Every structure is written in C-alpha cells, then in structure tokens.
Structure 1
Amino acid sequence: MAWNEPGSGKQRDPWRDNGGGNGPSPDFDAIARRVRDFLNRLFGGGGGGIGVAVVGILIAWLAFDSVVRMPANEAGVVLRFGQFSRLLTPGINLKFPRPIESMIRVDVGGVRQTNDQVRMLTKDENIVLVDFNVQYQVTDPQQFVFGVRDPDATLGQAAESAVRTVVGGSDMDTILSGQRTELMAEAKKLLQSTLDQYKTGIALTELNFQNVRPPQEVKDAFDDANRALQDKQKIEEEAKAYASQVVPEARGDAASTRAEAAGYKSERIARAEGDAQRFNLVETQYKAAPEVTRKRLYLETLQQVVGHTPKIIDFSSGKNILSLPQAPGLAPGVTGTTTVVAPEPNKGGR
C-alpha cells in the first residue's frame, strides 16, 4: 500500500496517523509488516528474514567501520581509494567505510629502537667492531608511511652508513678514548640529516656506541697496547702531581734565598758605611791627638785579640805589664783576669 494514494487530496504519513487522519498513536506492528512486505518484494518472496538480517549486518558494519577511536599515542593515516586524504587526531573520528576510505595506524608516542654490529676500518687502518643502538620516534605519520618503502630498514642502513663515515674518519685511539661522545654526536647529526633528506618522518632521540672493541684475532695484542697506554697516562699524572708539589717548594726556597740575600746585602752595606764613618771619626781624633789616639787604638786592638784567653802574652821581656779586666766572652770555668805584657808602642808610630 502506498503512503499517498492518488486523488485523496492530502498527504498521509503512516508514522503519525496510521494511514487515516487524526487517529490513535501509530501501530508499530503494521509498520513492521509494511517493512517486511517491502523486503519480501525487494528480495523476491520468502527471503524477507534473510534480507532483514543482511540489511542489519550491512548497517552495523557501516556504523562500525565509519567510527574510529584514536588513542593519544597513535595517529591515523586515511587513504581514500588508495590516495592520502588526511590524518586522524586522537579521539573519536569519522570516515567513510571501506572500500571508500581505509586507515593505517602509526605509533607516534612510543620510542622505537634498532641495534646492529658492524666491522669497519678506521682512519689509521685498524679494524674495530662497533655495536650501536639507535632510538627514534615518528614525527610525521604521512612521511613515515609514504616517504620510503620500509622506514625501519632504511633507518638501519642509514645508521650503518653514518657510523662507518664517522669511524672511518677517526683513529683507533680517538674511538676508544674519551672522545667517543663527540663521535656519537657527529654520527647522530649525520644520520638525522640523511633521514630528513629522504623524508622519512623520523626524529632521532639517541645514538649510542654500546661497545667498541678490536676483533678477537688481535684482542690480546690490543689489550697489551691499551695497558701500556694506561701506564703512560698513570706516569704522566704522577709526574704532574710531583711537579705541582716540588715547583711551589722550589719557588718558596728561591724567594727565601732572595730575601736572605737582600738582608745580607743591606747588613753588609750598613756595616761598611758604619766602619767608614767610624774610620772618619778616628781620623779626625788622630789628627787632633796622634800619640793618644795611636796608643788607644793599640790597646783596643790587643783587648779585642787576646780578650778571650787567660794566657799571658809578653812582648816586652817583662818590662811593661798591663792588667786588663776579664772579657765577657771568656770560656766557662775560666776566672781571673787576662794579663798582657807588651812593649810600649813606638812613639814614631811604627
């Protein structure tokens, strides 16, 4: 039965008036029968149950395939008839069902990694084994899916090429010494440049040389050379420590010697100046009274010479005896006075 019969003069809505004006609420059983009859006509007689099931499955499949829930750590690359259409953001998204649109999920939140071991030749023609590890993340899902055919394999080959370039341009000692960090940074920079050039949508997070060692065939000889290098470094450090201890002491001794020399110089100059002034004073007194000055100088000289001995010195055959007081510097246990018997100085000054 049609919804609108010709010649009725008005539009009839089976969902509101049950086919006739202002009647009671719609009869759902009648509606179901009409739908079943429509499906029977559509699928040819007795296939109504199968048709309803097929239509229900089709509707459910369309609803299920059109609603996509994307977690925060993933991105969806939507393809419309095989061509890139758009990216799905985290959350609930809608798309056309397959085969109109399909979607590829790409993990953009996790950190991926690859490991490899390569045998390579250094700049000084030594062979080394290098175990390296590369960690990376996907920053551009579109480039990651369409930039290269196999992004992981491409990354492994590019990483090996970058490591070979860096190791091949360095000496063995440089690779095995503390400069390994600089080499890893250089290899990481070179690898990232290659990945950007190929538009892989990959960003490196780490590139590490986990183990760098010589081949097993020459390991013993290399260990001996390495121990010799360590002994050399140890001796150099000990020499530096000894130099840092001895050099300040030597400088201190030199400064002390210079200070003593300067003091001795000042003392000798002052003493010489004092002797010169004293000589000038004696000269003045000698000019005023030559005889008295001569005799006084003679006696003072004898006192200085024999003032520290208890012996009697006779230069006059017992004619002249002078008794002088004991000098303060007399040896311990010596008492009395020091007697000097000396000839009277020549009046002529000889």
Structure 2
Amino acid sequence: MSNGPWQPRGQGPRNPNPWGSGPSGGGGREPPDLEDILRRSQDKLRRVLPGGGPGGEGGGLSKLGAVGIAFLGLLAVVGWMLTGFYTVRPNEMGIERVFGRFAAITAPGLNWNWPYPIGRIDKPTIGVQTIEIGLRSGAGPRGGVRDIREESLMLTGDENIVDVDFSVLWLVDARRPQDFVFNLKSPEATVKAVAESAMREIVGRRDIQPILTGARLEIERAVQDLMQKTLNTYGAGIIVQQVQLMKVDPPAEVIDAFRDVQAARADQERAQNEAQTYANKVIPEARGEASRITQRAEAERERMIADARGEAARFISILDEYQKAPAITRQRLYLESIERIYGGMDKIIIDQGKQQNGVVPLLPLNDLMRRSANGQEKR
C-alpha cells in the first residue's frame, strides 16, 4: 500500500485522518469533538443557572442548552446594538446612512444609528478650512513658506507670465452636508483643482498691468464667483467664503526688468500729469481770452449795426423833410455842411453880396474872437 499525503514515507500504512491516528491510537492527535465540547458547556451552564439540579440528561439538557444559546444570542444582539451609539463634536456634523442610503443629519452630541453593517456614520468638519495654491506655509526651510511654481505661474491675456500665490477659505454647506459626503471623493483636491482652474481663467482674460496694480479685489471676487458656480454644478455642498491673493509678481527671472518698466511707466504717468496740469491752467485762460474777444466783437458789431440803423433812419427823416420842402432842406443841408467844415477855423467869412452895408470893414473881428477865446480858457 502506498503512503498518503499525511503519512511520511516508511512509517506504515496511510492514516485516513489528517489530524492524527484513529480511535485505536497512534502518533497523531485527534480533532476536537464538537458534541463533547457542547456537552461540557451545557454542564457548566446547568451548574450556574437555576433549575439545573439532578435530573435526566435528555430533555432537560436540551432545554438548558437552548436557553443558554438564546441568552448568548441576546447578549450578542444587545452588544451589537450598543455599538450604534456615536458622538458628534461641536465642529462636526453627523451624516447617518442606512444600507448605504442617506438617512438623517444629526447635531453635535450623543446619537444612535444602526450599527455596521446596516448603518454608517460620516462626520464632516463644518469649520472654515484653508487651501493654499502656489505656496505651502511651514513647508520651507526653518518653517518658512515654500513656493510651488508649477501651481503659481499663469499666462495673462497679453501673453505675459505672472506668478500668483493665493489661498481659498471654504467650508461645508450646513444646509446640504450630504452632498459633500456623497458627491466628492477627495474634497480638498477638488477645491484645489477648481481654485487653480478658476484663477487661471480669470488671469487669462486680463492684461498683466491691471493684475499687478489695481485689479486685485476685482480678481478675488471674480475667482470666488467662478469657483462657487463650478462647485454648485458639481453638487459639492461647499461654500467658498473668500479668495485672498497673497502675492502677484512677475517671474523671478524677469522681475528686475519689470521693475524698470514700472519705473518708466511711473515717469510717463508723472509727465502726463504735469502736462495735464499745465493744460488745465492754460486752456481755461485761452478760453477766457477767446470769449472776451468774441464778446468785444459782438459788442462792436451791435454798435456798428445800431449806428448804421441810426444813420439810415436820419437819412430817411431828412429825405421825408426834403420831399416836403426841397428849397428849405437844401439850404439847411448847406448851412450844416458849412458849419461842420468851418466850425473849427479862426476865419470869418462874410458874404458881401448880401450883407455889404452891415459890417464895418476895419472892425478887428479876429482879435476880438481871440480875446474872447482866451477869456473863456482863463475862466
């Protein structure tokens, strides 16, 4: 007879029992007898439990064993139910599951849910959390800040490169924490990826100059709104509380050249401001002078128009008088013309044809007129 797998070669016939020799004995060990173990356990329970006095070993022993097994099962069930108690901390919120489905939201304190494997508890933190993009605080030498350039270098709308370090403050939406638990596998990685994508999109829409100077607040608000919109489409159950720009600079390799450009632009703005100041001073003066000349010309035009109208009216009135009495009007015009022509002369003209006998020839009229004029000047 050949040796079996449980019997070494050369040591006799094969033993059909792998745990040892059969009832007749041998070198191996017999397997434990389950009936014997159960009988001994029943004997011990009969000694401990009341009503376990001497009696028949048949029905009494069976009943006692059934009661013991039921009691142990009850203890096991009670112990399993007690494992369903759990505690939620003040900065947490309990999410109960039953057979994998969302059941309820529990407040901080002691609560109970069906134990595993029927129930499950998730406890997301509801406090404000911070994610840094482009830098890691406390990760540098001596606990400083380490720059992560693969996250911070971004392309602007005018095809320049800018180094942007920022942080995002976010928290779980207390109204729908189940979305945070069920819809996100890696919440922090998701928030970080959405924040970096939103910042790259907002920076890519703008030129580098506003990004480096006065558009920080606008960029922060735009990134926050875009992040919140994206996370809402994911059903993430996350509220983006704030976006903070920590550093916005050109890359380190060209920062000196950018500073020179900034200085040149500052000089340009200063020169433009000075020119604008001079223009603001000269232009109003020129406008005032032009207005004054215009007003003077308007006044002169009005005067000349009025004089012309007066002369025309006077001529019309003379014409009317002339038409009424032509001879008298001609005589009047003659006299007025002679008076206007000779009014400033020191000569006396006498019409001898008409007033020949009325004037003494030797009368010194010129001297008398001079004396009269001198007397009036002295007065």
Give the TM-score band, short-chain normalised: 0.5 to 0.7
Whole-Å separation in 2 of the counterparts to 1:70 and 1:324: 131
The residue aligned with 2:154 is 120
Q: How many residue pairs end up in the alignment?
A: 274
Q: Report if the CA contact (8 A) 1:184-1:208 is conserved.
A: yes
Structure 2 CA distance for partners of 1:39 and 1:194, relative to 1, 3 Å? farther
The residue aligned with 2:121 is 103
The residue aligned with 1:323 is 369
1:61 CA drift (Å): 9.1
Matched, 1:203 2:214: no
Matched, 1:157 2:188: no
Structure 2 CA distance for partners of 1:113 and 1:324, relative to 1, 3 Å? farther
Whole-Å separation in 1 of the counterparts to 2:371 and 2:304: 31
Whole-Å separation in 2 of the counterparts to 1:123 and 1:148: 32
1:106 CA drift (Å): 1.3
Question: Counterpart of 1:133 in 2: which secondary structure?
Answer: strand
Structure 2 CA distance for partners of 1:282 and 1:124, relative to 1, 3 Å? closer
Structure 2 CA distance for partners of 1:70 and 1:315, relative to 1, 3 Å? farther
Q: Report if the CA contact (8 A) 2:96-2:106 is conserved.
A: no
1:266 CA drift (Å): 2.0
Q: What is the aligned counterpart of 2:328 among 288, 293, 304?
A: 288
The residue aligned with 1:348 is none
Alignment of 1:1-350 (within 5 A): 37-38=48-49, 63=82, 65-68=83-86, 70=88, 73-80=91-98, 83-90=100-107, 93-98=111-116, 100-108=118-126, 110-117=127-134, 118-139=152-173, 140-244=176-280, 246-278=282-314, 284=322, 287-288=327-328, 294=334, 297-303=337-343, 305=344, 321=366, 323=369, 335-336=377-378
Q: TM-score, normalised by structure 2?
A: 0.57
**What's the RMSD between the two structures over aligned residues?**
4.3
Give the fraction of aligned pairs with identical amino acids, expressed as a percent: 32
Whole-Å separation in 2 of the counterparts to 1:214 and 1:290: 99
Structure 2 CA distance for partners of 1:302 and 1:210, relative to 1, 3 Å? farther
Q: Report if the CA contact (8 A) 1:69-1:90 is conserved.
A: no
1:114 CA drift (Å): 0.9
Whole-Å separation in 1 of the counterparts to 2:167 and 2:235: 21
Whole-Å separation in 1 of the counterparts to 2:336 and 2:178: 121
Whole-Å separation in 1 of the counterparts to 2:193 and 2:256: 32
Whole-Å separation in 2 of the counterparts to 1:325 and 1:266: 45
Structure 2 unpaired stretches of 5+: 1-46, 53-73, 135-151, 351-361
Structure 2 CA distance for partners of 1:104 and 1:293, relative to 1, 3 Å? closer
Structure 1 unpaired stretches of 5+: 1-35, 42-54, 307-311, 338-350
Whole-Å separation in 2 of the counterparts to 1:212 and 1:258: 56
Structure 2 CA distance for partners of 1:183 and 1:292, relative to 1, 3 Å? closer
